[in-house]
Amino acid sequence: MDAVDRLLSQWRSERPDLDVSPLGIAIRIELLAKLLHRYTTDSLAQVGLKPWEYDVMSTLRRQGEPFSLPASKLAKASLLTPGAMTTRIDQLEAQRLVKRKPDPDDRRGVRVMLTRKGQTAVDSAIAVRLEAAETAVEGISGKDRLNAERALRLLLESIEA
């Protein structure tokens, strides 16, 4: 029995008229998100990056050469508003990790491109990011990992819909 089981037991005792079972999944995911964020933050700090910096640069890196996206698509991929993405791009550009260039497909648009320095940084970061993820899930077996991934995918698809 974990802390969430105890919490649910208390609610069942206090409010037997309610089905509190969905909280078992939701609260565990919320707690896991917080803990995984700590793993991510700590691991990326080893290579001098913050999670949001890694997020933006890894999105660009995954695009393949020339490691570039329109700023609007980059914002959408990061679940950010255009204004929030502009601030992040400004900060990454000041560090020379990304650069802006006119979008040839949209005269009003801007493309964001990973610089060589940015590519080197994100390529170093992926190794520590993967190591942190492996550490986080090392307590569950291969089959259980597949089952967890499948269940989480279904939940995410359901919420996104």
Residue 67's CATH number? 1.10.10.10
pLDDT at 81: 92
**Assigned domain for 36 exists:** no
Q: How many domains does the chain have?
A: 1
pLDDT at position 135: 92
- Strand partners for 102: 110
Q: Is residue 121 part of a domain?
A: yes
Instruction: Find the domain containing 108 and state its range.
Output: 49-160
Residue 110 forms part of a structural domain: yes
Asked whether residue 97 is assigned to any structural domain, the reply reads yes
Q: 118 near 57, Cβ under 8 Å?
A: yes
Asked if the structure places residue 112 within a domain, the reply is yes
Say how far apart CA 123 and CA 114 lie, in whole Å: 11
Which pLDDT value is given to residue 18?
96
Paired residues of 70 in beta bridges: 111
Would 27 be classed as within a structural domain?
A: no
**Over the chain (161 residues), what is each successive 10-residue block's mean pLDDT?**
94 96 95 94 96 96 94 91 94 97 87 96 96 93 94 94 89
Is the CB of residue 116 less than 8 Å from the CB of residue 19?
A: no
Q: Answer yes or no: are the C-beta atoms of 54 and 125 closer than 8 Å.
A: yes
pLDDT score at 104: 86
Residue 18 lies in a domain: no
Cβ atoms of 68 and 122 closer than 8 Å: no
pLDDT value of position 45 = 96
7 within a domain of the structure (yes/no): no
Provide the pLDDT for residue 106: 84
